[in-house]
Amino acid sequence: MIDSHSFAAALAPWFVRDASDRPWRHTRDPYRVWLSEVMLQQTQSATVVPYYEKFAAAYPTVHALAAAPLDQVLKLWEGLGYYSRARNMHRAAQIVAAGGGQFPQTAALLQNLPGVGRYTAAAVASIVFGERVAVLDGNVIRVLARLYDLPADVTMSATQRHLWALAEGLIAEAERPGDHNQAMMELGSRICTPRSPDCPNCPVQTFCRAHANNTQGERPVKARKAKTPHRDVASGVIYDAAGRFLIAQRPLKGLLGGLWEFPAAFREGDESLGETLARALSEQCGIQVEIGDVLATVKHAFSHFRITLHAHRCRYLGGEIALTRYIAAAWVTPAEVDHYALARADRRMIEVLLGRSSPKN
């Protein structure tokens, strides 16, 4: 095993000297650290910075976030992806605010908040409250897999448990647990990268078994991913006589919950895209339209599948809006749509409508 005291002593000075300057590292306010950690879930820190700064300015306290309308929160989150994080964050803020604004001070208690798992809880508890609990994210997994030259598949449950134990072992004698956890994550993102790790500049190279065995390129071991499924989606940009178009709000739970979109549906079986759209608009919105040409085609990847969104120009013919799948609908002008939170693919449709983007994407 690696001596935790020696390891921490080698890692800490590197982090103090070379840590990236991030706005959330200038505070120990539990609200702001929690805010940053929620945003950093599955998202690179450089992408998070402008979103963190916008949220911190719009909602400087947990009470401000709790009082904000969910639609407003989702709009500010627009483009960051994984929207369940925003919905959970809003609910968690309301829970904390209702309890007087005091965040739980241990990782175990923090995990009772919506959207806070073991990793996020440990990050907040160690950084803000100094609790000696380790984190394990993709970067730390890669560091540990190389430090210990692990031949096991890191996606397996048994290996995950082993990795948590290794992480806990290394933090055991760290003087500043929060800095240690941030250093481990930064080591993985900047030095121990997936390809071509910068071993000569690694502060803990002497502890690394993969470096000694020249197996860095083989670690971590992961099972080969299955081919990502693809589906076609038919979407309707439906105009009325006043030149407005129809958007609809998705249910709060599930994929892209609470976001607005052009009414759409997955193509089923051997349907044509036009048949798919006519079925969807009749079943989901209760309206009839004249389906025109394809206005734009947008490709988009989610975490577990990909879509090609085919947006058709449609003319509204009639029918009272009667929603089944959606929870709200609105007729809006292109200028008004900026007030609504849309998923990335539909936002790109707006860019096409306004002439700011190519219809093929």
* Residue 88 CB partners (closer than 8 Å, separation 6+): 38, 114, 115, 116
The span from the CA of 330 to the CA of 249, in Å, is 9
Burial 237-253 (b: 16+ CB within 10 A, else e): bbbeeeebbbbbbbeee
Sign of the Cα pseudo-torsion (135, 56, 91, 249, in order): negative
Contact in structure between 296 and 279 (CB atoms under 8 Å)? no
Cβ neighbours around 208 below 10 Å, total: 22
Q: Is 275 assigned a catalytic role?
A: no
- And the tokens for 292? 């025109």
Contact in structure between 285 and 329 (CB atoms under 8 Å)? yes
Which residue among 37, 131, 186, 261 is the active-site one?
37
What residues act catalytically? 37
